[in-house]
Amino acid sequence: MLIGETPMTMRPERLRPVFLAVMLGASLLVSAEQRSQSQDQSYSVDYYYTARWGYADEFIRLFKKNHWPLLKKQVETGRMLSVTAVRPRYHAAEGSRWDYRVTIVFKNLAAAHDPSAEEALIKQMYPDQETFRKEEQRRFEILLAHWDVPLVSVQLDQ
């Protein structure tokens, strides 16, 4: 990258090396995680969402309409063990605020990194694919930020 250049201001042909570097880094992290995680151990991830001011209600409405039923179905099929959501009671400073945190406990690390059945569920559960895609696009358009935090258990008694 050039000084002052961000991924949002880069020309598409200059993004390819950045994208490849990010993908390589992600695959190395997944490999390291897999080596330290047993196959029968559950795997938790916190998903944070920050909506534009005034749009948090619209975000959660769309989340409940389209994404929540999909997550519940994945709990029923066994890919996920549980899904919970919280919101902060009070607002934080703009730099650190988030509107919703969704915690997903996957059956194991392999289940977390294999969303292959999810696309089939989406087609089965949402026959009007055009509306589904438009609403999901809108859900992400109103976000200022979204980040995922894989969680690792800390053994305190050992």
> How far is 96 from 100, CA to CA, in rounded Å?
13
**pTM, two decimal places:** 0.74
Alpha-carbon gap, residue 45 to 84, rounded angstroms: 11
Q: What is the mean pLDDT of residues 5-14?
A: 57
CB 151 within 8 A of CB 44: yes
Structural domains of the chain ordered from first start: 39-151 (3.30.70.100)
Pairwise CA distance, residues 82 & 72, whole Å: 8
Residue range 29-33: mean pLDDT, rounded: 52
pLDDT one-digit tens code per residue, 120-152: 999 999 999 999 999 999 999 999 999 999 999
Q: What is the pLDDT of residue 94?
A: 84
Q: Is 54 helix (H, G, I), strand (E, B) or coil?
A: coil
Q: For residue 158, what pLDDT is reported?
A: 80
pLDDT at 117: 85
- Return the closest-CA partner of residue 63 out of 111, 116, 99: 99
Q: How far is CA 56 from the centre of its chain?
A: 17
For residue 85, the surrounding DSSP H or E stretch is strand 80-86
Beta bridge partners of 100: 49
Residue 61 pLDDT > 90, yes or no?
yes
8 or 69: which leads in pLDDT: 69
Strand ordering across the sheet containing 100-106:
80-86, 100-106, 43-51, 143-151
